[in-house]
Amino acid sequence: MFNFNDIFKSNFLENITSVSVLDMVVAIVLAFGLGMFIFLVYKKTYNGVMYSSGFATTLVALTMITTVVILAVTSNVVLSLGMVGALSIVRFRTAIKEPLEIAFLFWSIAVGIVLAAGMIPLAVIGSVIIGVILLVFVNRKSHTNPYIVVLSCNNHESETKAKKFLEEKAERCVIKSKTAQKGRVELNIEIRLKDDNTDFVNELAEIEGIQSAALVSYNGDYMG
C-alpha cells in the first residue's frame, strides 16, 4: 500500500534538482530584463490608435513564462511530451489588431526559448539587433503623410469641384469609397499632402455645395 514514505522514494524529487536553483534565477532574471527591453521597444514603436498597456505587459510575462516552460521541458523528456500534448489543446481567441504585434509576440517567445536553452549571448545580442532595427524602420518618417478626407456634397457638380480642388493641393488623390443618396453624396478620399499644412480643409468646406469636410490621419492600411 502506498504510504507517505514512498513519496521520498519517488523520482519526483530527483526531477526537481535536474535544473539548479542558480540556473533558474539567472534565466528568469534575464527573461525579465529582456522582456522589459521588448516592452520599451513596443512602446516606442507603437503607431496604432490606442496604446494597450495590457498587451505590452503581456510581452514581459510571455518571455518569462516561456523561459520557465522550456526549462521544465529540457530537464525531463517525459515532461516535454506531456507539455506538447497539453499545449496542443490551448486555443487563443484574442484578435491581433496590428500586424507588428505578431512580431513582438514571436520575439518574446523566441527570447524565452533561447534563454532557457542556455544561449544567453544569442538572446541578448539578437534582441538588441532586432530592437534597433524596429526602432529605425518603424519610427522612420514617411515623405508624404496619408490622410482620408471625408466629404459630404449636395450634388455631382460640388463633388467635381471638390475633387479638382484636392488634386491641386495634394500629390495624390484617390477615391476609396462613395455613397450616393438623394440630394447627398459622401466621399472618402485618400490624399498625400505636399507638406504638413492642413488649412486647405477650411477652403474646401467653403466651396459651394459642400456640406462638411473632415480630415483624418490614418496608417495607410485601407480596409474596404
Which secondary structure element, helix H or strand E, spans residue 120, and what is its range?
helix 120-138
Q: Which residues of the chain have pLDDT under 50?
A: 2, 4, 7-10, 12-13, 220-224
pLDDT the model gives residue 125: 94
- Percentage, residues of the chain above pLDDT 70: 74
Contacts of residue 73, Cβ cutoff 8 Å, sequence gap at least 6? 79, 80, 83
Q: Among 75, 76, 69, which residue's Cα sits nearest to residue 31?
A: 69
Whole-angstrom distance, CA of residue 79 vs CA of residue 74: 9
Q: Quote the pLDDT of residue 194.
A: 73
pLDDT of 151 = 87
- CB count within 10 Å of CB 163 equals 17
pLDDT for 7: 44
pTM for the whole thing? 0.62
Neighbours of 173 (CB within 10 A): 17
According to the model, what pLDDT value does residue 140 have?
Answer: 67
Amino acid in position 73? V
Q: What is the pLDDT of residue 21?
A: 81
pLDDT given for residue 187 in this prediction: 86
Nearest to 167 by CA among 124, 211, 131, 200: 200
pLDDT recorded at residue 203: 82
Please check whether residue 174 is in contact with residue 190, taking contact to mean a CB–CB distance below 8 angstroms. Answer: yes
C-alpha cell at 198: 492642413
* Domains defined for the chain, CATH in brackets: 7-138 (no CATH), 146-217 (3.30.70.260)
